[in-house]
């Protein structure tokens, strides 16, 4: 008993030393939404226009308003690093500094939405049944409470479907989502996209006044 107690203190001691080293590496900069608003000007031409679409293939430019800041940071870094293959977003993200990314994330996250359900093409009822496995991370209605997991509620249906296809095809390289989509059929992805897109109080457009 004495032995295991002292081991506990040894392990706890190592952990606190490690935590100190991690902290010494520097906390990430805090995002400044006012600075982010200015920096978002170059992004607004696509992301602040309701219904704006990507060409070849044609699907909606994603809604960013109200998205979790930690996830926005991760997504922009993935475009920078090439873990997400999208030449336009790579070009837009490439020259952003860590501070720029955090400022922009803080700005777009500040939008709130009370959007009603968006009309969808796919079978949202079938999607709901298939979504139980997604709920642990993304929330039962796609409004996840964990900031590393993106909110999906109210996102464009065709964008969600494209994202799922890209994880499956390896055009988006994320170990968690790669595992999640591995066994999904085209029909499953369409149904899931319809379900999450049709949820209320979801994402909105980061519209600049």
Distance CA 96, CA 90 (A): 10
Q: How far is the CB of 19 from ligand HEC (least distance, A)?
A: 23
Q: What is the DSSP letter of 82?
A: T
C-beta of 111: minimal distance to ligand HEC in Å?
A: 13
Q: Which of 35, 117, 126, 180 binds ligand HEC (CB under 6 A)?
A: 180
User: What DSSP letter does each residue of 20-50 carry, written as one string?
Assistant: HHHHHT-PPPPP-HHHHHHHTHHHHHHHTST
75 makes contact with ligand HEC (CB under 6 A): yes
Among 103, 122, 172, 201, interactor with ligand HEC by CB under 6 A: 172
Spatial contact of 79 and 93, defined as CB atoms under 8 Å apart: yes
**Which one of 106, 124, 160, 190 is in contact with ligand HEC (CB under 6 A)?**
160
Q: Let me know: does 151 contact 202? Beta carbons within 8 Å.
A: yes
31, 62, 65, 204: residue in contact with ligand HEC (rule CB under 6 A): 62
DSSP β-bridge partners for residue 54: 59
Residues 10-39 that bind ligand HEC (CB under 6 A): none
Taking CB under 6 A as the criterion, the residue among 37, 48, 61, 128 binding ligand HEC is 61
């Amino acid at each position: 008993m004495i032995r295991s107690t002292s081991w506990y203190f040894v392990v706890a001691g190592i952990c606190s030393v490690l935590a100190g080293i991690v902290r010494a590496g520097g906390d990430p900069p805090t995002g400044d939404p006012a600075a982010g608003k200015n920096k978002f000007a170059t992004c607004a031409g696509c992301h602040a226009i309701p219904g704006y679409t990507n060409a070849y293939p044609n699907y909606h430019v994603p809604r960013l308003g109200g998205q979790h800041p930690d996830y926005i940071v991760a997504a922009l870094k993935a475009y920078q690093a090439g873990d997400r293959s999208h030449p336009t977003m790579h070009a837009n993200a490439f020259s952003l500094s860590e501070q720029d990314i955090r400022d922009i994330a803080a700005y777009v996250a500040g939008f709130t939405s009370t959007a009603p359900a968006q009309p969808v093409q796919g079978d949202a009822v079938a999607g709901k049944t298939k979504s139980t496995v997604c709920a642990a991370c993304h929330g039962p209605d796609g409004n996840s409470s964990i900031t590393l997991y993106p909110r999906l509620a109210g996102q464009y249906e065709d964008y969600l479907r494209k994202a799922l296809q890209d994880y499956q095809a390896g055009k988006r390289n994320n170990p968690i989502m790669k595992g999640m989509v591995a066994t999904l059929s085209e029909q499953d992805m369409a149904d899931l996209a319809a379900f999450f897109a049709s949820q209320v109080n979801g994402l909105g457009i980061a519209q600049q006044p």
